[in-house]
A and B are shown apart, each in its own frame.
Chain A
Amino acid sequence: MLAGTISSLLLAILAWTLPIGEVIRLGFWSYKISETMTVLGRRLIVEPNDQSILVFLYLGSAFWFAGAKTARVETQFISLGTGITALLTAALIVEPFLYAAILVELAVLASIPILATPRQESRKGILRFLTFQTLGMPFILFSGWMLAGVEANPGDIALAGQAAVMIALGFGLMLGIFPFNTWMPMLAKEAHPYSAAFIFYILPVAVCLFGLNFLERYTWFYASSWLLVFLRLSGFLLTMSGGFLAFFERHVGKMMGYAMMVEIGLSLLAISLGVGDSQNKPLIAWFFGLLLPRGLCLGLWGLSLSTIQSRIRDINITSIVGVARILPVASFSLVLAIFTLVGFPLTAGFPVHLGLWQNLARQFPIVNFTALFGTAGLVAGGVRTLSVMIGDEKQVAWQTTEDWDQRLLLILGCCAIIIIGIFPQWFYPTIIRLANVYLRIGL
Chain B
Amino acid sequence: MNSFLDILALPAVIIVGITSLILLIGRDWRWSIATLSIQYLGVFLLVALNWPVLLAVIKLIAGWMAGAVLSMGVTGVNQNLMEKLSKDFNGERDSPLAPLSGRFFRLSTGGMVGLVVISVATKVTDFIPGISIEQALGALLLIGIGLLQLCFTYNPIFVLLGLLTVLSGFEIIYAVVETSTLVAGLLAGVTLGISIVGAYLITASLEEVE
Contacts and interface: CB of A to CB of B under 8 A. Distances in A.
A41 B182 contact: yes
B18 interface: no
A99 B182 CA distance: 10
Given A106-B186, A131-B163, 16 more contacts: A39-B182, A40-B182, A41-B181, A99-B183, A105-B193, A109-B190, A109-B194, A113-B200, A118-B204, A120-B204, A124-B154, A131-B150, A134-B190, A134-B194, A138-B170, A145-B174
B156 to A, nearest CB: 6
Nearest to A110: B193
B23 to A, nearest CB: 16
Given A109-B197, A138-B167, A131 B183 contact: no
Q: Interface of chain A, helix or strand or loop or mixed?
A: helix
Contacts of B200: 112-113, 116
Give 9 closest A-B pairs by Cβ, nearest first.
A109-B193, A138-B170, A145-B177, A118-B207, A102-B186, A40-B182, A112-B197, A118-B204, A127-B159
Contacts of A137: 190
A11 B189 CA distance: 27
A123 B181 contact: no
A4 B154 CA distance: 35
Given A102-B183, A130-B163, A138 B201 contact: no
B43 to A, nearest CB: 14
Contacts of B183: 99, 102, 141
Given A102-B183, A102-B190, A116 B174 contact: no
B190 A116 contact: no
A20 interface: no
B130 to A, nearest CB: 11
Given A40-B182, A141-B174, A105 B154 contact: no
A106 B154 CA distance: 22
Interface string A112-146: 11001111110110110011001101100110010
Contacts of B173: 142
Interface in A293-309: none
B118 interface: no
Contacts of B117: none
Interface string B140-172: 000000000010001010010001001100100
Contact of A126 (B170, B180, B201): B201
25 contacts: A40-B182, A40-B185, A41-B180, A41-B182, A99-B182, A99-B186, A102-B187, A105-B193, A106-B189, A112-B200, A112-B201, A116-B201, A117-B204, A119-B208, A120-B208, A127-B154, A127-B159, A127-B201, A130-B163, A131-B159, A131-B163, A138-B166, A138-B170, A142-B177, A145-B178
B79 interface: no
A217 interface: no
Nearest to B177: A145
Contacts of A123: 156, 201, 205
A142 B187 CA distance: 13
Given A99-B186, A112-B201, A131-B150, A40 B178 contact: no
| Most B C-beta atoms less than 10 A away, residue of A110, A126, A131 | A131
A349 to B, nearest CB: 34
Nearest to A122: B154
Contacts of B166: 134-135, 138
A131 B162 CA distance: 9
A440 interface: no
A106 B208 contact: no
Contacts of A109: 190, 193-194, 196-197
Nearest to B189: A106
A39 B183 CA distance: 12
Given A102-B186, A106-B190, A123-B205, A134 B167 contact: yes
Nearest to A105: B190
A72 interface: no
A135 to B, nearest CB: 7
A116 B167 contact: no
B66 to A, nearest CB: 12
Nearest to A124: B154
Contacts of B190: 102, 105-106, 109, 134, 137
Interface in A363-399: none
A42 interface: yes
A134 B170 CA distance: 11
Interface in A34-50: 39-42
A106 B186 CA distance: 9
Nearest to B178: A145
Contacts of B194: 109, 130, 134
A133 B119 CA distance: 28
A30 B163 CA distance: 50
Contacts of A130: 159, 163, 194, 197
Contacts of B182: 39-42, 99
A121 B209 CA distance: 9
Contacts of A141: 170, 174, 178, 183
Contact of B193 (A39, A40, A106, A121): A106
Given A106-B193, A116-B200, A118-B207, A138 B154 contact: no
Contacts of A103: 186
Contact of B174 (A112, A119, A120, A138): A138
B172 to A, nearest CB: 11
A142 B172 CA distance: 12
